[in-house]
Structure 1
């Protein structure tokens, strides 16, 4: 983890775009903080929270490395093309500098036309020499930057193996910590038979959501605070890019009232606020689904997961993991690629989010904050 932090700190240097540098520095700080939190975790609850922070920090760190290394690769390519285009000029410059030597003095150059010619040639050399020196300095700077960029990328390639192994280990530990956790309050017990009957008898998400109250036993009133004051400011459940808005058609011409996010493979999905798990499992054509209830008559439907955490009836604190995205975990070559992803597979997974108030869907962007307004 320390080596990954070091590379991130290097990427935060002035050679890169400010946004990439800021992201790298923030990720390095988060990695260190997560490491300390994990070392200090004692209870199962603390360990789940610490591991959640660790996975998120690794995800952000690897994303920052991806961004920074892509910027480094682009910069190296630019400099290489620039040097290649100036190859003839550079050869001529090197020849002139070699002929003049390191300590040219105009008065030592004798001209066949005598003192006057010598004086004129001396003045000419004196005028040209600073320009040649400037060109040589600029060339030396470009060559040094190319060398530094190549060394940085090589160092990052070695460190990426550590980072990718670290995030995978953290995901595995997180899954185990969630399985071992027993301190979560329980609002109800799910009746599996009623659940199967409800799934078999409904053809739409709306029908299933309307019947959620029928599949529970021994339900107690919720005591979670209402979140109306957070409307429009909630963080998205996963790091991702808005792919489709509510009501926009997909490639097959299908429209749905929720939004679709493009995410990295194996990205961690968390609950944006404290909520009760109303349902966990496969549903219709949505894949694995988690339905969260942060308050009465409000549901967050999160669909398209590859793995779900927790059990129906459990009350989760804000920021708790609810599942993982699918796909094949990134390899070091994917992140080091100058194209920034593996043939477009950088954000190969999609997560569907639907928000239901009462018995009707609403635009999720009225609840969640995104980078795209």
Structure 2
């Protein structure tokens, strides 16, 4: 089971979903090379996904390290537990041998006690025998004492003394041999009893010492057995905890692999979407470039399409391609002071009397006529929500609702300048044309639409 857990925690198991090919063995922790070389082209969503992927990879590295440490800990605990079991078996075997030795010592003590009991009984028998013959022995001993103290004369004796001597001799002759025999037997028995007592005492002392040693050994072995059992229980508890930890790491590793795989899929999807968007943007830019190129060619050709009734191109795509509607000198630009404390909403161009004014772009005439102090005014709808205002004209040659082409004559300039406040502040008496571009009803700077380096107006428009 431990080996299976370790295999499940190995980082290499996540290699395929983390970017490795089916034939490769790339480590997913090292799969960060999947980040595109052009990191600046990443979208914020892709960067966030990559950061999440990197965080999960870091956590997966830590899980792999923890799994390796857990595997080593499990192996160490299993080895220690096996050693403890072996030691426990050895201790139990030693304890059994000690118990058997204690049994043998107890048997020897019991045998000694039986021999001592038999000797005590023998001693009692001998004592009783001596007690039973105590009177005879006392008389004999008394006689012996008298003989020893006052020996009878060998020749000169009285009749009484002779009779006593004879009686003593007869008594001694009858009793002494028996007493001698009994004494010899008693001496032998007493010597044997003394030897046995001494032997039993010695054996009892040795057995007591052996029993004491055996008891100490039994206590030591019992303590060791208890200690080893406690160590075994602690090791088993730690082993169970490590197994649970390894299982938790395996589960966490699987979750991280799943999350990283989903992040990789999301990153791939984001990249494909971003790539498709970039391609679409490039195609759009290419189309706009092609339209601008066609607009440039059309503007350079100066040949309007007579049958067209709508602008050829979107007005916003014509920046940098338009000619001024009249030849002259630009006196005021967009944003300059208009003489009333405000910024000018268009441009003022000084030109010659009778100069022809041409339409800068294709469009519909939405207004043609006098307007306040601006004189004759022409407003052209250029499409794309843009309108062009031409004011300060003398005579308009087109009517409202008419469609005009770029470069088509639409009016002529008069002999005097426009009467507007901005024109009155100019230090010139030349006729002035006011040009204003409007987008969604608001004035915009017309300069981005004029062709760079081009002359204001066309040579053919001069009078």
Instruction: Tell me, yes or no, whether TM beats 0.5.
Output: no
Greater strand share, 1 or 2? 1
TM-score using structure 2 length: 0.28
The TM-score, its normalising length taken from structure 1, stands at 0.34
> Counting helix residues as a fraction of each chain, which structure ranks higher?
2
The structure number with the bigger radius of gyration is: 2
